Amino acid sequence: MQVSHADVLVRNSSYDYEKLKPVVFELLSMLDRGRIGRQSRVLIKPNFLAPAPPDRAMITHPLIVKAAAEYVLEKGAEPLVSDSPAMGTFERVMRDGGFERELKGLPVACRAFGASVMVDVGPPFNRIEIAADAVNADMVINLPKLKTHTQMLLTLGVKNMFGCIVGLRKPEWHFRTGIDRDKFAELLVRVCAAVRPAITILDGILAMEGQGPGKGGVPREFGVVLASDSAFAADAVVCGMLGLMQHDLPTNRAASVLGLMPHDIRTDGDLPDIRDMKLPVMTPLVFGPKGLHGFMRKHLVQRPACNEAFCRHCGECWRYCPAKAIAPELNGLVFDYDKCIRCYCCIEVCPYGALSAKETAAGKVARMLLKR
Ligand code: SF4
Ligand code: SF4
């Protein structure tokens, strides 16, 4: 399926609800095109990575969710706010993230994704389990957060749809795609294409830079909201805004290969020009002669490492690790870098920001040589 064109609407805003609500309403009214009918079931899918206050920039701001829910209610439709957090419970994200407070008194259903249904997303993944509430909704409004991502560079509109894979199925899929970053990107794109969010509104008011998307990232204010009926187009425009090439983002590359990236992307509004966002270092995960891949990966590729001063041995990382590559020992965590697939899920779920991706000394040298 080749997509010809898409519009991406760019608006400045803050979390002052008096200003934010009209912005979100304008974006939704420009993009819903009469598709939100009375009594239609509208899934609102924010980024609920983990329980955290909004000023940590780990989750979509609750006031954006509130504005979207109010818009849906105004149309006579039935909003459902749902996600499957990587860490902690849905209820804790609702409470700690301020969603409970902001949605109080509104007739909005809020619940974690539960049952899944099998959906054929196409080869090589074929049938995979996706949250029934996402598949069966009449419309999905995708509300991602603009954050860095240690494995995938950024997490934006397309990656947010991966949250529709419920619970521990997420790390299972990380494991199945293994060390191949492009294969994982293709999976993300195929899941997004299967869920078909009708509208994506990206929260870039308080974004995250550094080693996101969890506690290792650093909040940074951009004061911008981007919206489109194509999550692929929205992600492409974010790359331009950050001074990146469109194909620098693995999911953009995969979307282009699959014919899902619109050829003609038009922006409406003032796109900020941000050239100094701190991005994670993206070292290739496999390089050199094939027979040496294992050795190269072990010694040259950046790897998760623990700062024992922050680690509280809570167990989140080793329970979540899809490769079972982390073992708690008396003197601290021990990583099996032969097993580790560099998905960086452990960094994502660590509630104390104790983990980060570190380059090996040999890896730094190899990266400089590869650049040349
Ligand atoms: S590194 Fe983080 S997630 Fe892992 S045990 Fe320590 S505090 Fe918990
Ligand atoms: S140790 Fe961390 S990066 Fe390695 S496989 Fe486990 S979760 Fe992924």
Q: Looking at the structure, do residues 70 and 182 belong to the same domain, yes or no? A: yes
Q: Looking at the structure, do residues 295 and 263 belong to the same domain, yes or no? A: no
- Helix or strand or coil: residue 14? coil
Q: Looking at the structure, do residues 218 and 339 belong to the same domain, yes or no? A: no
Give the dihedral sign, CA 84/86/89/95. Answer: negative
Residue with CA closest to ligand 1 atom 8 = 314
284 in a domain, yes or no? no
CATH number at residue 326: 3.30.70.20
Span from the CA of 240 to the centroid of ligand 1 (angstroms): 35
283 in a domain, yes or no? no
| Mean per-residue pLDDT of the chain | 94
pLDDT in tens, 81-133: 999 999 999 999 999 999 999 999 999 999 999 999 999 999 999 999 999 99
132 in a domain, yes or no? yes
Ligand 2 close to Cβ of residue 321 (< 6 A): yes
The residue to mutate among 150, 285, 335, 341, having the most atoms of ligand 2 within 8 angstroms of its beta carbon, is: 341
Q: Looking at the structure, do residues 248 and 354 belong to the same domain, yes or no? A: no
Ligand 2 close to Cβ of residue 344 (< 6 A): yes
Q: What HEC string does 286-341 produce?
A: CCCCHHHHHHHHHHHCCEEEECCCCCCCCCHHHHHCCCCCEEEECCEEEECCCCCC
Q: In the chain, helix, strand, coil percent, each to 5?
A: 35, 25, 40
Position 106 scores a pLDDT of 98
Ligand 2 close to Cβ of residue 350 (< 6 A): no
Lowest mean pLDDT across 209-223, 228-242, 252-266, 283-297: 283-297
Span from the CA of 170 to the centroid of ligand 2 (angstroms): 13
User: Pick the residue with more confidence: 291 or 70?
Assistant: 70
pLDDT in tens, 176-217: 998 889 999 999 999 999 999 999 999 999 999 999 999 999
Ligand 2 close to Cβ of residue 335 (< 6 A): yes
pTM: 0.94
Q: Looking at the structure, do residues 9 and 132 belong to the same domain, yes or no? A: yes
Domain count, the chain: 2
Ligand 1 close to Cβ of residue 86 (< 6 A): no
Tokens in use for 357? 């991706």
Ligand 2 close to Cβ of residue 343 (< 6 A): yes
CATH number at residue 165: 3.40.50.11440
Q: What HEC string does 342-358 produce?
A: CCCHHHHHCCCCCEEEE
Structural domain of residue 344, as residue ranges?
A: 290-371
Q: Looking at the structure, do residues 92 and 182 belong to the same domain, yes or no? A: yes
Residue with CA closest to ligand 1 atom 2 = 350
The residue to mutate among 215, 321, 355, 358, having the most atoms of ligand 1 within 8 angstroms of its beta carbon, is: 355
Span from the CA of 293 to the centroid of ligand 1 (angstroms): 28
Ligand 2 close to Cβ of residue 306 (< 6 A): no
Which one of 268, 301, 335 terminates a domain? 268
286-291 average pLDDT score: 64
Span from the CA of 194 to the centroid of ligand 1 (angstroms): 34
Atom of ligand 1 nearest to the CA of 310: 7
Q: What HEC string does 34-76 produce?
A: CCCCCCCEEEEEECCCCCCCHHHCCCCCHHHHHHHHHHHHHCC
- Helix or strand or coil: residue 98? coil
Amino acid in the structure at residue 25: F
Q: Looking at the structure, do residues 123 and 236 belong to the same domain, yes or no? A: yes
Q: Looking at the structure, do residues 233 and 295 belong to the same domain, yes or no? A: no
282 in a domain, yes or no? no
303 in a domain, yes or no? yes
Q: Looking at the structure, do residues 104 and 248 belong to the same domain, yes or no? A: yes
